[in-house]
């Protein structure tokens, strides 16, 4: 009799193999999913928890982490100073020297003069080829005129009279004074602010070649300079209401470089250089005058003895006042 397997047995065997394959695939799938879930859970456990702000109209500021916290300086914090003998400085030199009808200028002259014709600048013009200024004043003038030209496209300042030595001042005085009243507008040789190289007169000069007095047309044609010269170290040396102190009737066209922050304090408090130098004598390094200029902070104090006190670890400048004392300026 031939061998014979029933169809049912063959089908049962085929089904059992298929079931085994399916089970194996399911197990592999379950194990794969399980491994994937374990990996996700582990990675979440290692990540920092992130909290998102709720939706709405409120705003939130993220404060960055810093390893060092800045400690704000208070008025109680003292500037560490060291003393230097006053013989190291000259009370007749510096941007704050006073020269007027009662206070003669007896220094040798500006330490560094610049001939403005030899070093021409695009953003101001000259009345003559012999105009000169102290280098620090010249560089500040360039910065101011450049800033004005950047905003307005053209700077109309003309420098009409800068540094004068004694001989040039005598010639100017002789040519200017016709009547006694003229003496209210000009100083004798030796008493002129022009000797310092820090003072100069200006006019307004248009591209078409027309010129105008600064005082009359300044607000109309150079308003930015009227409002911002203080930020570049310049003051109006002879305000009309200070003639009894300066000895000169009002001259709004005469600028004087004194440096920042002194120019800011003088201008904003409507005082003249004479008043400022008197005021500053009341401030010492232990209790200095604090001045803010365009977000920069300064401390200023006076030294009138044999020792000039300067900061140990900060930048500073020292200027004589031509009256026997020194002014120390510190950028904080």
| Cross-strand partners of 91 | none
Region 184-191: what's the mean pLDDT? 91
CB atoms near residue 200 (< 10 Å): 29
Q: Taking 90 as the threshold, does the pLDDT of residue 167 lie above it?
A: yes
Q: Which DSSP category does 39 fall into?
A: H
> Residue 133 and residue 161: Cα distance in Å, rounded?
9
End-to-end CA distance of the chain: 118
Region 293-302: what's the mean pLDDT? 93
Tokens describing residue 55: 């939706």
pLDDT number for residue 103: 96
pLDDT number for residue 39: 52
CB atoms near residue 19 (< 10 Å): 10
Q: Taking 90 as the threshold, does the pLDDT of residue 218 lie above it?
A: no
Distance of CA 112 to the CA centre of its chain: 23
Region 201-214: what's the mean pLDDT? 89
- The region, left, alpha or beta by phi > 0 then psi within -120 to 50, assigned to residue 307 is beta
Q: Taking 60 as the threshold, does the pLDDT of residue 262 lie above it?
A: yes
Tokens describing residue 224: 């930015």
Lowest-confidence segment of 37-46, 97-106, 120-129, 297-306 by average pLDDT: 37-46
Q: What is the pLDDT of residues 245-258, one digit of tens each?
A: 999 988 999 999 99
- The region, left, alpha or beta by phi > 0 then psi within -120 to 50, assigned to residue 301 is beta
Residue with tokens 């085929």: 14
pLDDT-derived band at 17 (thresholds 50, 70, 90) equals low
pLDDT number for residue 16: 64
pLDDT number for residue 185: 86
Q: What is the pLDDT of residues 20-76, one digit of tens each?
A: 767 777 777 777 777 666 554 444 333 333 332 333 333 322 223 233 223 334 445
Tokens describing residue 95: 């941007």
Q: Taking 80 as the threshold, does the pLDDT of residue 13 lie above it?
A: no
Q: Taking 50 as the threshold, does the pLDDT of residue 264 lie above it?
A: yes
CATH assignment of 100-257?
Answer: 3.30.1380.10
Q: Which DSSP category does 50 fall into?
A: -
| CB burial of residue 72 (10 Å; 0-12, 13-18, 19+) | exposed
Phi, psi torsion values for 230, nearest 5 degrees: -65, -30
pLDDT number for residue 77: 61
Tokens describing residue 231: 């930020």
pLDDT number for residue 234: 98
Domain ranges of the chain: 78-96+261-332, 100-257
Mean pLDDT of all residues belonging to the chain = 83
Q: What is the pLDDT of residues 322-331, one digit of tens each?
A: 999 999 999 9
Q: Which of 92, 95, 141 is nearest to 116 (CA)?
A: 141
pLDDT number for residue 330: 97
CATH assignment of 78-96+261-332?
Answer: 3.30.200.180
Q: Which of 200, 184, 286 is nearest to 244 (CA)?
A: 184
pLDDT-derived band at 207 (thresholds 50, 70, 90) equals confident
Residue, of 220 and 170, whose pLDDT is higher: 170
pLDDT number for residue 292: 95
């Amino acid at each position: 009799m031939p061998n014979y397997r029933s169809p049912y047995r063959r089908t049962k065997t085929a089904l059992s193999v298929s079931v085994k394959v399916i089970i194996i695939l399911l197990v592999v799938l379950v194990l794969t999913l399980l491994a994937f879930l374990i990996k996700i859970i582990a990675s979440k456990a290692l990540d920092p928890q992130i909290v998102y702000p709720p939706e709405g109209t409120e705003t939130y500021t993220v404060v960055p982490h810093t390893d060092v916290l800045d400690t704000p300086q208070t008025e109680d914090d003292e500037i560490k100073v060291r003393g230097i003998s006053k013989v190291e400085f000259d009370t007749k030199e510096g941007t704050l020297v006073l020269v007027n009808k009662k206070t003669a200028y007896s220094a040798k002259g500006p330490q560094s003069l610049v001939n403005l014709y030899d070093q021409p600048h695009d953003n101001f013009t000259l009345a003559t080829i012999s105009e000169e200024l102290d280098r620090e004043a010249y560089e500040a003038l360039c910065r101011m005129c450049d800033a004005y030209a950047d905003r307005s496209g053209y700077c109309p300042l003309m420098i009409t009279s800068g540094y004068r030595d004694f001989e040039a001042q005598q010639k100017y005085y002789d040519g200017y004074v016709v009547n006694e009243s003229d003496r209210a507008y000009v100083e004798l040789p030796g008493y002129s602010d022009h000797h310092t190289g820090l003072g100069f007169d200006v006019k307004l000069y248009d591209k078409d070649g027309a010129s105008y007095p600064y005082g009359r047309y300044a607000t109309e044609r150079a308003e930015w300079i009227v409002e911002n010269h203080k930020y570049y170290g310049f003051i109006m040396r002879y305000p009309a209401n200070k003639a009894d102190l300066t000895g000169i009737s009002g001259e709004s066209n005469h600028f004087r470089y004194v440096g920042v922050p002194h120019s800011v304090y003088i201008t904003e408090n409507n005082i003249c250089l004479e008043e400022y130098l008197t005021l500053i004598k009341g401030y010492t390094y232990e209790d200095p005058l604090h001045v803010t200029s365009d977000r920069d902070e300064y401390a200023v104090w006076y030294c009138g003895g044999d020792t000039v006190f300067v900061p140990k670890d900060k930048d500073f400048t020292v200027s004589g006042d031509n009256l026997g004392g020194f002014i120390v300026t510190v950028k904080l």
